[in-house]
Amino acid sequence: MHILFLTENFPPETNAAATRVYERACYWVRWGHDVTILTCAPNFPHGRLFDGYKNRWHQTENMDGLRVVRVKTYIAVNRGTLRRTLDFASFMIMSAGAGLFEKRPDVIVSTSPQFFAAVGGWMLGMLRRVPFVFELGDLWPASIVAVGAMRENLIIRMLEKVELFLYRRSEAVIALTHAFKTNLVARGIPAEKIAVVMNGVDLWRYGARSPDTELSEALGTKDRFIVGYVGTHGMAHGLMNVLDTATLLRERTDIAFLLAGAGAERDALMFEAETRGLENVIFMEPQPKDMMPAVWSLCQVALVHLRDSPAFEDVIPSKMFEAMGMGLPIILALPSGEASDILDADSAGIHVPPEDPTALAAAVTRITDEPDLYHSLRAQSLAAAPSHSREIQAKHMITALKAVIKGKGDRVAEIPVPGL
């Protein structure tokens, strides 16, 4: 099978969408499928090109057996509505154009969080007469309203109509959460055409390990209990709450918070931490994907954090599965929903209310001061990881894509997955 996959984010970028697409596609190639990735020059989230890349009209590379085609786009930093929209729209147009000159695939897949890539995929599917599948990674534009980037208005309502159009016109929808599927079904999308293939962890890359000595010495984490947040520092993540928690725990010199990554809010967070004189907050520059296990190895606890918004009840952050792969207890600070249900079912950590520094501080001190609890949560987190493996999910999604090619996209939710 030849798969043409449109995604604006792809390695060396390290955000959830880039990682998910890359790791699943690597399994598909190992299983004998041809995969072409249509993406842009890596620049997320700073809006600056990664070293070694240029923003050219068309460039190709081979990455672990994947044919990667990068197109020229309008590059913008991950903040501000107008410039980011131009960024999204330019990728939609350029990727659809480039796809016309690629070998005709058997199926075209586009992934969100934003749906402009899906518009490009739908257009390309129409022109090439190839089935189009929408992988739903976020309920966009609802999520941009939730983080306060835009208010509910005529533009948002128009975007919602485009969103529904894409769900209806796709041969199938691959949703990352059951809550996403429930949302779509409530809006009139047939449940039978929606398969749920969740996020997960690549156990080839992640596993329990000792702290990376070089990184530990460089950051000063040795002999401290490290609560680590590894990921994007964006509007959705509400990380000012972490600084409020660190302020409450500043007398606990044995505890420190590690914030590793980049994003629109990072500079403001660093400025605020310096203003408050928080010596128990350590900032780390974003690292390449192959360094992520080493970064996680510095942590005793993984922090998964989102703002207090109903929109995030449906979200399952991928970093919680990476933490399981590393055998780390998880503190989940986000609205109750599917992610907290998974955490409770796996007994892999503690769930606290979002944007509540007192509750977060209590959870941190409890895990720090109760060794039996810490080791129990650590063991249960590691034990849960295989049930969330990326290999299983890659198998699930390729089964769904095969069903679409056979004309069974309208029944993709009912297709049994071998080995599951």
pLDDT in tens, 355-371: 999 999 999 999 999 99
Domain annotation covers residue 207: no
Name the residue with tokens 């533009």. Answer: 155
The pLDDT value recorded for residue 89 is 87
Domain annotation covers residue 66: yes
Q: Residue range 410-418: average pLDDT?
A: 81
CATH of residue 71's domain is: 3.40.50.2000
Residue range 289-325, pLDDT digits in tens: 889 999 999 999 999 999 998 878 888 998 999 999 9
Whether residues 98 and 47 fall in one domain? yes
pLDDT band, very low/low/confident/very high, at 86 (cuts 50, 70, 90) = confident
DSSP string, 287-329: --GGGHHHHHHT-SEEEEE--S-GGGGG---THHHHHHHHT--
CA gap 29, 20 in Å, rounded: 14
CA gap 22, 63 in Å, rounded: 9
The pLDDT value recorded for residue 137 is 84
Chain centroid offset of residue 409 CA: 25
Nearest residue to 325 via CA among 345, 350, 348, 341: 348
Exposure letters 95-124 (e unless 16+ CB within 10 A, then b): bbbbbeebeebbbbbbbbbbbbbbbbbbbb
Whether residues 154 and 220 fall in one domain? no
Residue 150 has pLDDT above 70, yes or no: no
The pLDDT value recorded for residue 81 is 64
Residue 414 has pLDDT above 90, yes or no: no
CA gap 373, 275 in Å, rounded: 35
Whether residues 320 and 397 fall in one domain? no
Residue range 250-282, pLDDT digits in tens: 999 999 999 999 888 999 999 999 999 999 999
CA gap 228, 331 in Å, rounded: 10
Whether residues 151 and 244 fall in one domain? no
CB atoms within 10 A of CB 313: 16
Domain annotation covers residue 269: yes
Domain annotation covers residue 419: no
CB atoms within 10 A of CB 335: 21
Residue 409 has pLDDT above 80, yes or no: yes
For residue 167, which phi and psi values (nearest 5 degrees)? -60, -45
Whether residues 104 and 185 fall in one domain? yes
* Distance from the first to the final alpha carbon of the chain: 21
Amino acid at 271: F
Q: Residue range 99-119: average pLDDT?
A: 89
Whether residues 194 and 336 fall in one domain? no
Q: Is the model's pTM score more than 0.95?
A: no
Residue 58 has pLDDT above 60, yes or no: yes
Residue 152 has pLDDT above 80, yes or no: no
Parent domain of 106:
2-200+389-414
Q: Across all residues in the chain, what is the average pLDDT?
A: 90
Residue range 126-146, pLDDT digits in tens: 999 999 999 998 776 555 555
Q: What is each CA distance from 3 to 6, 65, 103, 110, 135, in whole angstroms?
A: 10, 13, 10, 11, 13
Domain annotation covers residue 208: no
Domain annotation covers residue 206: no
Domain annotation covers residue 205: no
Whether residues 175 and 41 fall in one domain? yes
Choice between 199 and 34, residue whose per-residue pLDDT is larger: 34
pLDDT band, very low/low/confident/very high, at 35 (cuts 50, 70, 90) = very high
Whether residues 251 and 319 fall in one domain? yes
Query: What total number of domains does the chain contain?
Result: 2
The 8-class DSSP code of residue 389 comes to B
The pLDDT value recorded for residue 419 is 57
Whether residues 249 and 265 fall in one domain? yes
Whether residues 74 and 174 fall in one domain? yes
Whether residues 156 and 221 fall in one domain? no
Q: Residue range 55-76: average pLDDT?
A: 94
CA gap 199, 281 in Å, rounded: 29
Whether residues 302 and 183 fall in one domain? no
CA gap 180, 197 in Å, rounded: 11
Residue 54 has pLDDT above 70, yes or no: yes
The pLDDT value recorded for residue 323 is 96
Residue 149 has pLDDT above 80, yes or no: no
Q: Give percent of the chain with pLDDT exceeding 70.
A: 94
